[in-house]
Amino acid sequence: MLKHRGFPGRLQGTDFQFVIRRANPRGVTPLTERPRFRDRKHADRQADLHFMAALWHHFGAEPFERGNLDAGRLSWLFGREVIPAEEPFDPASYDALLRIDEDVARASFPEVFEG
């Protein structure tokens, strides 16, 4: 499992985790599309915003390996702002390649791309 050095471990001051420390010995947690409803808590929306900002700052528009990025946090963006960068795509692989769909990400999180 690739560890993304320099990637923030969590949203500062919260328990929202962005990376995992070690591979799950019982198997890889698969990525799934999680619906985001308008009534989500402000803290959850902030975690999504800061995670997207970290992804954009760290990887930009280039494909990246899932590695130690947290499956739960990725799943809130998966299928919209973060999409597979390879076919066939294995959602239960630490080696899976992903990329940011820049157009969708800009529409969902304009504050990440301002300036």
Helices in 26-85 by DSSP H: which ranges? 42-59, 71-75
Question: Can you give the pTM of this predicted structure?
Answer: 0.93
Work out the widest C-alpha separation in the chain, in whole angstroms.
43
Q: Would you write out the chain's pLDDT as a tens digit for each of its 115 residues?
A: 999 999 999 998 888 999 999 988 888 999 999 999 989 999 999 999 999 999 999 999 999 999 999 999 999 999 999 999 999 999 999 999 999 999 999 999 999 998 6
Task: State how far the Cα of 100 lies from the Cα of 14, in Å rounded to an integer.
Answer: 25
Q: Note the pLDDT of residue 115.
A: 63
As given in the structure block, the two tokens for residue 24 are 């799950």
